[in-house]
Structure formats: structure tokens, C-alpha cells
Amino acid sequence: MKPNDDEPEIRTDLRPGDLGRIVMLHGELYAAEHGLDPTFEPYVAGPLAEFALRSDPRERIWVVDRRGRAAGSVAVVAAAPDAAQLRWLLLHPDLRGRGLGRRLTAGAVDFARRRGYRTVLLWTLGHLSAAVGIYRRLGFVLAERHERRLWGRDLVEEKYTLDL
């Protein structure tokens, strides 16, 4: 047992319930905080399930575990032989403001670098200023910007890239 059971642990193994919890967190938090509709959940669930079924040493997920339950995540998945994609960065609101998002993202970038990727890319929404700030501080640059209707809202989708 850890000294402080409320202190989150970051682990890289998937446990029963993690996938469902990560999808649920995305669905609930993006609906409550950004007004996205239920079509956002399959956008998260499909690729997350595919990731979980693969066994690729060049891919990894980090799960933020609090009291035995997933409370956040980030992952590196292969987008191309030389390009990694950062996916599913999310923290439960109770865990924000502790530097965990920055730590998770920096760890994911370091992992991609060690695995021989030349580039890391990610897609985000332009109004997610905290996440965009993390990406920019790590050296990501805006590569594309599209205004479109997604998940029941008019949104600005942004692609960021980082050369390693």
C-alpha cells in the first residue's frame, strides 16, 4: 500500500476496466467541459480498442491510476514507420494543476525518441489552452488548422508536430 492512497500512480500496463474508464472519462469530461456529444466516445473507443489488441514495442500507454482506477492517460501510437502520434491525453479535473499533464506528455515524447521515431504528431482542439500550452512548451508547432463540425459542435481542430 502506498503511503498516500490519494496520490496518483503512473503505470504502463493496462488492467481490466482501464479501457472502459478511459473512454468514459473522455465522454463525460468532454461533454461537461466542452459540450461534445456522445459521438465523441466511439472516436476514442475504436482506436483505443485497436491499440489494446496490438502488441507493438514502439507503442505505449500511460495510465494515471488513483485508488485503483484509471483517472487519466496518454499514449504513443505508430502513425507511420517514422512518425508517432500522441493520443488520449486527459486527466480527471481533481488531478489537474499538479504538472501531471506535462510529465505524461514529456515522458511520451521521450519514449517516442527512444523508439526511433523522427516525428511526433497530435490532433487537438484549438480551445484546449492548457493542453496546447503543454505541447508548445515541449516544442510542438502548429502544422494544420481546420474549422469543422465535430461531435455536435463547430470546432477548430489543430494538428501539432514535433521533430525529434
pLDDT tens, residue by residue, 28-58:
999 999 999 999 999 999 999 999 999 899 9
Residue 161 has a CB neighbour count (10 Å cut-off) of: 16
Please say if the pLDDT value at position 82 is more than 50: yes
**What pTM, to 2 d.p., does this model score?**
0.92
What are the structural domains of the chain? Answer: 9-117 (3.40.630.30)
**Nearest one of 82, 91, 63 to 120, comparing CA atoms:** 82
